[in-house]
Amino acid sequence: MTAEAGAYRRTYTQCTEDPEKFWLEAATAVDWITPPTVALDNSAAPVYRWFPGAELNTCYNAVDRHVLAGRGDQTAVIYDSAMTGMKDRFTYAELLHEVSTFAGVLRDQGVTAGDRVIIYLPMIPQAIFAMLACARIGAVHSVVFGGFAANELAVRIDDAKPTVLVTASGGLEPGRTVEYLPLVAEALELSHGSIHTVIVKERRNVPGTIKHHDGVNGVAWLDWDDAVERTTPADCVPVLATDPLYVLYTSGTTGNPKGIVRDNGGHAVALTWSMHNIYNIKPGEVMWAASDVGWVVGHSYIVYAPLFAGATTVIYEGKPVGTPDAGAFWRIVDNYKVRALFTAPTALRAIRRVDPGLTERARYDLSSMHTLFMAGERLDTETLEWASEGLGIPVVDHWWQTETGWPITANPRGIETLPIKPGSSTVPVPGYQVEIVDSKGRHVTQGEEGNIVIKLPMPPGTLAGLWGRPEGYQKAYLDAFPGYYATGDSGYLDEDGYVFVMGRTDDVINVAGHRLSTGQLEEALAQHPNVAECAVIGVKDELKGQRASGFVTLKAGVDRPHEVICGELVALVREKVGPVAAFRDVLILERLPKTRSGKILRRTMRQIVDGEDFVVPPTIEDVTVLEDLTVALMVHPEPMIPAP
């Protein structure tokens, strides 16, 4: 605990009892053109709007105001590409030049406030420039993860109806190059013609040129560098706090994409507040979110929040292992004196699998790093303890979603350093009233697992709706439990108010009437000393309805017989969880199927095991892993799925 014991509880109570006063005070940290006089507009409840009538510009708050305050020489963005060896730094003054100039390019192509721009870029500085340039002129950006399949890109184009698409010649992955231009050209063929201009940043490390595409189907293809040379910088355009800043697609099939809408004002207030109060980052300090700009973590904590706070952010093109080794993250921390690192548990598990003794860590000076923040998947106790002991710093799990845009639960290190409880993402962040209910919306007893819901209204910065689908927003998030936002996650609250998120509600396994969470079972499997990563799913069982099946990968160098390890894992689960789990199926794999952001594809695994038809997720990191899984299931001693 800090010396000021109880600071979190006082702050949380102030926000809960008088949210109007709390968020208007928080809003004073933002530079407004027309300051807000009212925090919350509840006239259309259960849909709420924050800071109605106020005006600002998001780009101004991220860039211009720091230059005007005399801090133009401070580093704003650090670029490090483990794939190419390129490194670069941009001061706030240089960032202002890059952003205002590219905003001029967009303006020259007819982009005005409210127009949409698709950004389909790898992890290069131009991704940040393009996002901020859209915000500068009031355009709405929609970032699509670089390398997404053409059909998925086309789906998002047709839903957002952008006029301009910004891309690069391609991206780099370990062992392969992904050429973007053929994918963009195919997406334009598949979509319905809203885009009239494609702007391409050509990379000398990636083949591809615009000359083969320019003018096809009436679409102009422009070279980024040429367009920048011919333009003049654009000034900031005032927008309403309630105007959309971006649309970010979380998932969706061809007929039903889901575009999360984030507004300008609430977003700026919430993220600015979070940088000090949750992450304890001050102006001039370095924060590194080891994610991708295509995900919400990249939007919030690579791009916007560090720049709102006047801090320094890192954009990294590489992996936690293999680029070139398991010390890649520690090199970045050492080279740039990173104060807070934010990554996903899957990245730590990948490092642990290759370097279980953290021998690479000894090569680098990590004294600058005060906290390792984790989010994206449940952080198991074994990984938490391995990292905290090996790194000698707090490892802080926190939980949030694309929809919320910033943490729901966290250890608020800028307010009060709370004790860490393994398995818990700590406590609700001020503004989020987290409760646990059963399937009928009735509150459950303390410690009992149920549906995690958030009492409305949610705080600023959370989703303003779904793009073009107001009824879809209501149906997806608000109808299940009236008066609450349904998170789709299950978990429980303990006696201290700590939140334990156990997994998605559709990952709860019902074994002969007993509800077991995948998180509970995975926690047991992860305690085995040979296990690097694990996933548990529920598969169909004629007798019990469902049974739990485990899938694990092993740490590097483990050469014990698999049947012995599997027997030990079954015994471990029965010891830790009990015979009620009826746990007997374990399969050892080389790799688990994951999304590019590191989430394990449990639903797809369940469909494969149950012999159901499935669609290969567009976010999958490597499709061959699904093929390997199917083969492994077929030769399993007791096949989980029937042989063909």
Same domain, residue pair 61 and 154: yes
Q: How far apart are CA 580 and CA 586, in angstroms?
A: 16
The domain that holds 552 is classified in CATH as 3.30.300.30
- Tell me: pLDDT of 251 over 70: no
The Cα-based distances of 508 to 205, 388, 425, 602, 617 in angstroms read 45, 29, 19, 11, 21
Cβ partners under 8 Å of residue 465, min gap 6: 47, 261, 473
Give the rounded percent of residues in the chain with a pLDDT score beyond 70: 94
Q: Note the pLDDT of residue 252.
A: 45
Higher local confidence (pLDDT), 594 or 224: 224
Residue 514, pLDDT above cutoff 70: no
Mean pLDDT to the nearest integer, 360-366? 97
**Residue 292 belongs to a domain:** yes
Last residue of a domain, one of 460, 491, 522: 491
Using alpha carbons, select from 343, 491, 384 the residue that is nearest to residue 428.
491
Please indicate, yes or no, whether residues 16 and 111 belong to a single structural domain of this protein: yes
pLDDT (0 to 100) of residue 509: 75
Lowest-confidence range among 74-78, 460-464, 639-643? Answer: 639-643
Domain-embedded: residue 220:
yes
Share of the chain above pLDDT 90, in %: 74
Q: How confident is the model at residue 517 (pLDDT cuts 50, 70, 90)?
A: confident
Kindly state whether residues 440 and 525 are assigned to the same domain. no
Closest CA to 283 of 566, 500, 445, 76: 76
Q: Taking the CB of residue 301, how many other CB atoms lie within 10 A of it? A: 27
Last residue within a domain, chosen from 459, 491, 523 = 491
According to DSSP, residue 362 is labeled G
Mean pLDDT of 57-66: 98
Residue 323 lies in a domain: no
Cα–Cα distance measured from residue 74 to residue 634, given in angstroms and rounded to the nearest whole number? 58
Q: Would you call 253 exposed, middle or buried from its count of C-beta atoms within 10 A (0-12, 13-18, 19+)?
A: exposed
Task: Tell me the C-alpha distance between 434 and 446, whole Å.
Answer: 13
Q: Are residues 460 and 521 in the same domain?
A: no
Domain housing 427: 7-318+398-491
H helices of 163-218, in order, are 181-190
Q: Same domain for 200 and 82? A: yes
Using CA atoms in the order 521, 526, 532, 533, what is the torsion angle rounded to 10 degrees? 20
Q: Does residue 116 belong to any structural domain of this protein?
A: yes
Are 238 and 140 within one domain?
Answer: yes
Between CA 121 and CA 147 the distance in angstroms is 8
In a domain, 462, yes or no: yes
pLDDT of 4 higher than 60: no
Q: Please determine, for residue 644, whether its predicted confidence score (pLDDT) is greater than 60.
A: no
* Predicted confidence (pLDDT) at residue 470 exceeds the cutoff of 50: yes
Based on the domain organization, do 208 and 111 belong to the same domain? yes
Give yes or no for a contact between 303 and 154, defined as CB atoms under 8 angstroms apart.
no
Q: Residue 18: pLDDT above 50?
A: yes
Mean pLDDT of 72-87: 97
- Whether pTM exceeds 0.75: yes
Residues 57 and 191 in one domain: yes
pLDDT at residue 133, rounded to an integer = 98
- Does residue 593 sit within a domain? yes
Instruction: Please say whether the beta carbons of 283 and 310 come within 8 A.
Output: yes
The answer to whether residues 468 and 532 belong to one domain is no
- 197-222 mean pLDDT: 87
Q: Is the pLDDT of residue 639 over 70?
A: no
| Residues 485 and 530 grouped into a single domain | no
Are residues 108 and 195 both part of a single domain? yes
- pLDDT bucket at 30, cuts 50 / 70 / 90: very high
Residues 6+ apart with CB under 8 A from 568: 528
pLDDT at position 10 is 97
Which residues, 6 or more positions from 467, have their beta carbon under 8 angstroms from its beta carbon? 159, 160, 244, 247, 259, 260, 261
Residue 512: band (very low, low, confident or very high) from pLDDT cuts 50, 70, 90 = low
**In the predicted model, is pLDDT for residue 135 greater than 90?**
yes
3-state secondary structure of 277: helix
Q: What is the mean pLDDT of residues 451-470?
A: 96
DSSP codes, 477-505 = IISSSTTEEEEEEEEEE-TT--EEEEEEG
Domain finish residue from 491, 518, 544: 491
Q: Is the pLDDT of residue 352 over 50?
A: yes
User: Are residue 267 and residue 153 in the same domain, yes or no?
Assistant: yes
Give Cα 557 to chain centroid, integer Å.
31
Structure tokens at 148: 């997404």
Instruction: Look at residue 250 in the predicted model and tell me its pLDDT.
Output: 85
Cβ 584 vs Cβ 600: under 8 Å: no
| Nearest CA-CA partner of 133 in 159, 157, 158, 166 | 166
Cα 180 to Cα 14, 36, 164, 428: the distances in Å are: 49, 43, 16, 41
Read off the pLDDT of residues 321-342 as tens digits, 9 standing for 90 and up: 999 999 999 999 999 999 999 9
Q: 190 lies in a domain?
A: yes
| Mean pLDDT taken over the chain | 91
Count each helix (H run) and each strand (E run) in the chain, helices first: 20, 32
Task: Report yes or no: 544 and 511 within 8 Å, Cβ to Cβ.
Answer: yes
Q: How many domains does the chain contain in total? A: 2
Per-residue pLDDT reduced to its tens digit, 399-451: 999 999 999 999 999 999 999 999 999 999 999 999 999 999 999 999 999 99
